[in-house]
Amino acid sequence: MPLRSPTTASLAGGAALLIIAGGVVAIVLAPWKPMGRVGSQGASGTASPERTTRATLTVVEQDSPIVDRGGLLQESLGLESPLGVFLPLLPKGSPTPARRTIGFGTAKESQNEIVFHLLRGASDKIAEDHSLGWYRVTGLPAVKSGAAGAIVLFRVAEGTVQLVALSAADQRPLPIQRTEPPPGRTP
């Protein structure tokens, strides 16, 4: 039976599991630093050059009105649920820089991309919030249904809204592209 509203459960290490209707699974992970080096550690404690990678930062909104003069979020940053409800990731009143890392699972084993609608606002009604666009993350590794395939960092810093995506399997950068909304969804 499909879920009618999001369901959450606490996991070890400060993570939480968020199950959203329509087969989308998101795992809210513990703090993560996406801009550092990723790779195997050698004897000297430095990352091996062949495995070092750098995630690409996608700026969604420059000089965003989401941040007030005092450096606090005056609106929440969040996603649209499959039921059309605004799900805040970075709540109003949070100090900046603010960030939240979400692991996105797949509904099918053959799924190699995810699509999400990013918004800012104060209402749980999508029509009353400001759309920052639909985004597609491609190149997800083959994973079992429900397992995290992509890790996406949502960040507000220095007046900008930013995104970074990595493979959950090996932390390699994944491309994020602005895209059209799926059929029947709001722009």
Domain boundaries, the chain: 51-179
How far apart, in whole angstroms, are the C-alpha atoms of residue 21 and residue 3?
A: 5
Which one is the CATH code of 51-179: 1.10.10.1100, 2.60.34.10, 3.30.1370.100, 3.40.50.720?
2.60.34.10
Which pLDDT score is estimated for 54? Answer: 67
Which pLDDT score is estimated for 169? Answer: 85
pTM here is: 0.72
Burial class (CB in 10 A: 0-12, 13-18, 19+), 78: buried
Which pLDDT score is estimated for 18? Answer: 40
Query: Phi-psi category of 40—alpha, beta or left, where left has phi over 0 and alpha has psi -120 to 50?
Result: beta
Burial class (CB in 10 A: 0-12, 13-18, 19+), 56: middle
Contact 23, 104 (CB under 8 A): no
Count of C-beta atoms within a 10 Å radius of residue 163: 21
Count of C-beta atoms within a 10 Å radius of residue 185: 14
Burial class (CB in 10 A: 0-12, 13-18, 19+), 108: exposed
Mean pLDDT per 10-residue interval, the chain, length 187 residues: 35 36 39 32 35 72 94 96 91 96 85 92 93 93 79 94 92 93 81
